Amino acid sequence: MKVHSPQDHIYGPLMIPSYCWPIIDSVEFQRLRFISQLGAVFYVYPCANHTRFEHSLGCCHLASVFMNHITTSQPELKIEENHIKAVVIAALCHDLGHGPFSHDFDPFAKEIDPLWSHENMSGQILRLIVNKYKINIPSEVIDAACNYICGEIYDAYPPWLSQVVCNNKTDIDIDKFDYLSRDNNRTLSTNRFEYDRLIVNCKVIDNQLAWKLSEVPTIECLFYTRNDMHIRVYKHRVVQSIGCMIRDIFYLISDQAGLETALSDPTEFVKLDDNILYKVESGKYGEKAQQLAERIRTRKLYKLVGEIRIKPENLEGESYSQRFPSDIATDIADVGELGADLYRVVSMKFRYGLTPSEHPLLSIPFWQSGNDHIVKLQPSDISCIVPAHFKETAMRIFISDKGKISQAKNSFLKWKERSAFI
């Protein structure tokens, strides 16, 4: 198979199969060069200016490496070329559906259409590219790739293929391998977890991905790194403050910029990228949005009023935190002097794997040398030095007018006292 090998600062030469390049060289894919990987994070971590483009190429590379490993080490699986293509294309295209500033766009989109997801939009854009440029890839491969982007099985192909790019069973997948390695490199610069060990020590057993038992520490490091990145980077309080301001801009310009229309039309959606903020700064979408963009540039940010942590056993508090932010803002305003329109509420979830009530290692399939069966860990097999909980919910309250921070804090404390379930 012919490959092209652009240089990457994480992996060195990338292994990108030739059938991927007609997709990569499309206008729709090149748009990812102008979608920041971490949204507002680069306002806090100046080197975090990488984009969805290099992340997508990195995932494509890891998927190629992974599928080559499985094909070579387990010939009895009889992996077909179309199986490989579907996984690699899914890895390449899984983020085509991200909006401007990546995850900062998602809450805006979901408030307009609760069923909207960037994964589904990625599939729509992939189909758009293939049809528009008449790319010679079998339709079943594209159908499978669209399923794999969402972590869903494609009935005509082996079930385990759906776990490579987006693993809804164990939370261990090549998307995570790349973004944790890449994002950590551009922010905290701490020692990376060894994603390569999780590739070469992975096998397919009973139609699911399983890892060598000796890699338990590596997988623990993966979960720790992910949680650490969420705490220190992705959900940094200043990052969230700016994210709120960016979303307010989206609301202000939605009609003029056609944002709501684009959510249901991939041909319009692909016209959106981070450059929209420069258009806002130029005054194209009105003075109010322009002033808000200027506040971001001059660091006149929304101020943090307070934060609440909700333990997993507090089901009522967790349920409350998932209400519409505007409803929670109204509750805070009702006990104080400020209007609800001044508050911004951000709900956060932190997790250590996919299983909130038990250690994630207990649900992961493992294997041992000389044993062809799945091995599952027992609680007694896991170190006693573990988190007290494997899931946490939190809320942060911001105020858009920093001159009213004192009043906002008083209202926040009253609301917190009256909301006994929190």
- Checking if the pLDDT of 383 tops 90, the result is no
Is the domain 3-237 a CATH 1.10.3210.10 member?
A: yes
Residue type present at position 284: K
pLDDT tier for residue 384 given thresholds of 50, 70 and 90: low
pLDDT in tens, 189-238: 887 779 999 999 999 999 999 999 999 999 999 999 999 999 999 999 99
Domain boundaries, the chain: 3-237, 302-352+387-422
Class of domain 302-352+387-422: alpha beta
Cα separation, 168 vs 36, whole angstroms? 25
Highest mean pLDDT among 91-100, 359-368, 371-380, 385-394: 91-100
Predicted pLDDT of residue 206: 96
Average pLDDT, the chain: 94
Q: Which residues are catalytic?
A: 118
Structure pTM? 0.94
Residue 1 pLDDT exceeds 60? no
Q: Worst-scoring range by mean pLDDT, 96-100, 248-252, 272-276, 349-353?
A: 349-353
Average pLDDT estimate for 73-84: 98
How large a percentage of the chain has pLDDT more than 70? Answer: 96
pLDDT at residue 188, rounded to an integer: 94
121-133 residue pLDDT tens: 999 999 999 999 9
pLDDT surpasses 90 at 314: no
